Chains A and B, each alone.
Chain A
Amino acid sequence: MTVCTDSRIRRKGSGRIPKVTLLITLAFILKAVSSCVNPVWDFDFSFNKITVKNLDNSGIYSIETDRDTMYAAAVAFEVTLSDETFLASAVHRQAEAPLPGFTSVSAMSPEPRYYPMHRITGIRIVTLEAMSPDIPAGTDVTGLFAAHVPHFINLDFLYIRADELPPVLDLEFYPNEPSISFQLFCREEIAGDKAQFVITITLSDESTMSATTSLITLLGNE
């Protein structure tokens, strides 16, 4: 009889332990599952810096160059718009409510997305040197430029018109870095021996950013 009672007590005791363990495990799984979050890695930024570099487009592909000499039919520049004050440690655009005791996890490393506070709405190119007798210094020559947006937007071989640039450059967000670059190619063979341009970008808050190219010495195509 005594042996029987002891074994019942042991069975009762040993029955509680798995139940408690199961409950704790379930609670842990629930917490762990709810800790899997959709990663958010969004930032706000402003376009406040414009830089322009010379391109050597005499070959098949254009490459950056420090030289201020170009062929008269190959005048080309690369313009970069960016946020010079941006720090990668900026506050998240959206914050997830943290779970105490658990670190949020996600299946993939999030790619940062940069949201512009002011959108790109316009581009204007003005020549500072006479390009021909018909195109004196100070003329708006935006229509004489073609453009190419490398990397992630335009994969076609040919250019787009410069006046088509704003809608192409204007994105809801910019992946990976708070900047965008585009290339400008003059469609005219410039008659003079010097060339220089002012490139002005207009943003949605009506502010503008301008950059002046270096003074380019032009070579004939002989």
Chain B
Amino acid sequence: MRCYAKIMMFLLLSLAASPLLPAQGRFIEKKQAAIWFGVRDITPDSLANSGDLDFLNYLYSSDEMAEYQYLGLSAHLWFRGDWEADLKVAMYDDFAPTSLNLKAIWMPMKYMGFTAGFYSYPQLLNEFNMFHRLSDEGFYGDTDSNFRQRHIHETGVMAGLVMPVNYRFIHLTLYLNGGISALSKFNEKITQKIVNGNMKREIRYSTKSSRALFFFPEADLGLDCFRIGETTLGIRGHASWYITRRSIDYSRTTYEWTYDNPVKEVIDNPAHRFSKLEFDAGIYLTW
């Protein structure tokens, strides 16, 4: 995923540098490059604990949105004919360009068109070992004292409608995207030991690909501020909402005392509704 994201970032930077090139026979009629900063709020449903670990109960969300601030770069290209492309790449404070929003846009009508694209963003699962620490009485629930955290990537393909409105220096574009996405699979291990006893236990989780439908409306607002020759400088804002309903199912292998005779189970967890709200703002150049 990071590899693709880096390639996309390279392409974005290349596009941003392309004013130095001729307009290639006007194959690309207009270009826009932007940089922006945003915040992301993830709101998961938290369900009551059952006898099985439900990883989605540990999806990280924070009122301060401190963990989910991001810096983004984007490019929008208007091709000859009715085609456009909208490419957005964003990164958290690790500067890994792991949030992607790539769309091809076909505009057969002035005020309505169709989009198809790819969407991916990472989110955090934090301290899921607390389930075992709280529920496995008589055991040291997790002998690993490290803070447990992992990124999981929500990745999907989408299609939808686009409705652009342009009035003088104001450019508003609404997208109504929907699609199917999956959470990245992962493996986790919990090691336990009974209190005042010799018995040890190791629990290994291997999650399955969790596919779900999602709805993802977006709004882009751009305000042209200055024009210097053929180039326009403006400010932009973007808001989006992402909602899906999914579960994280997994296979669980439990070993007791030794690695002989493991007990294997397949666990289907209940579906959670979780949503993501994003706001970002920045500047753009159009030429």
Q: Please report A residues at the B interface, Cβ cutoff 8 Å.
A: 57-60, 71, 73-76, 146, 156-161, 185-187, 189, 221
Instruction: Decide: A74 and B143 in contact? CB cutoff 8 A.
Output: no
Q: Tally the A-B contacts, defined by beta carbons under 8 Å.
A: 51
CB distance from B116 to the nearest CB of A (A): 47
Task: Say if the beta carbon of B266 comes within 8 Å of chain A.
Answer: no
- Chain B residue nearest to A73 (CB atoms) is B197
Task: Say if the beta carbon of B209 comes within 8 Å of chain A.
Answer: no
- Chain B residue nearest to A157 (CB atoms) is B191
The stretch of B96-104, B121-129, B225-233, B251-259 in contact with A is B251-259
Partner of A73, one of B191, B198, B202, B255: B198
Instruction: Decide: B202 and A157 in contact? CB cutoff 8 A.
Output: yes
Complex: how many Å from CA A120 to CA B131?
44
Instruction: Decide: B198 and A57 in contact? CB cutoff 8 A.
Output: yes
CB distance from B52 to the nearest CB of A (A): 21
Q: For B201, what are the chain A residues with a Cβ–Cβ distance below 8 Å? A: 158
Partner of B196, one of A73, A156, A157: A73
Complex: how many Å from CA A161 to CA B259?
9
Given contacts A71-B197, A73-B198, A221-B197, 13 further A-B contacts (CB under 8 A): A57-B197, A60-B143, A71-B196, A74-B196, A146-B198, A146-B257, A157-B191, A157-B200, A157-B202, A159-B200, A160-B258, A187-B199, A187-B257
Q: For B272, what are the chain A residues with a Cβ–Cβ distance below 8 Å? A: none
Instruction: Decide: B196 and A60 in contact? CB cutoff 8 A.
Output: no
The 7 closest A-B CB pairs, nearest first, are A73-B197, A185-B198, A71-B196, A157-B191, A58-B196, A60-B140, A60-B143
Partner of B195, one of A58, A76, A146, A187: A58
Q: For A73, what are the chain B residues with a Cβ–Cβ distance below 8 Å? A: 194, 196-199
Known contacts A57-B198, A75-B198, A187-B198; is-contact A159 B143 (Cβ 8 Å) = no
Q: For B143, what are the chain A residues with a Cβ–Cβ distance below 8 Å? A: 60, 157
Task: Say if the beta carbon of B137 comes within 8 Å of chain A.
Answer: no
CB distance from B55 to the nearest CB of A (A): 21
Partner of B198, one of A156, A161, A186: A186
- Chain B residue nearest to A58 (CB atoms) is B196
